Amino acid sequence: MSTALDTTFAALADGTRRAILAMLLEDDMAVTDVAEPFEMSLAAISKHLTILTRAGLITQEKRGRVKWCKLEPEAMREAIVWIESFGQLEALNFDAFEQFLNKELGS
């Protein structure tokens, strides 16, 4: 696996970062607007945004005094291609798989 692919998956591994990406699907957002729905400090959100930026999943730019975040969906292409190479995954029922794991692991 390439380093870029590892970085992408590492960035996507966190639920907060995935939520941020989902928010940015709609439109560019100011950092303060990105932070609003989360119960964490602006500094913590900033760390998440830095990880997403380093992975190339978002870009950040200053417009006047406000820092804006923009989704860069093309950055996920390599990860999407890698996942799609496992075409048989489409047939899996992930809900049933999760229930199986919970039963087996006693969660």
| Per-residue confidence (pLDDT) for residue 23, from 0 to 100 | 96
- The pair of structure tokens assigned to 20 is 């941020």
In this prediction, residues 83-99 reach a mean pLDDT of 71
pLDDT digits (tens, 9 = 90+) for 28-64: 999 999 999 999 999 999 999 999 999 999 999 999 9
Q: What count of other Cβ atoms lies within 10 Å of the Cβ of residue 76?
A: 18
- Between 86 and 42, name the one with better pLDDT: 42
Longest dimension (CA), the chain: 54
Q: What is the pLDDT of residue 100?
A: 76
Residue 5: burial class (beta carbons within 10 Å; 0-12, 13-18, 19+): middle
pLDDT at 97: 72
Model pLDDT, residue 104: 78
One-letter identity of residue 71: L
> CA angle 40-42-47, nearest 5°?
90
Q: What is the pLDDT of residue 22?
A: 95
pLDDT band per the 50, 70, 90 thresholds, residue 1? low
- Write the CB contacts of 8 (distance below 8 Å, at least 6 apart in sequence): 55, 56, 57, 75, 76, 78, 79
Which domains, and CATH codes, for the chain? Answer: 4-105 (1.10.10.10)
Spatial neighbors of 47 by CB under 8 A, at least 6 apart, are none
Instruction: Give the residue carrying structure tokens 């390439």.
Output: 2
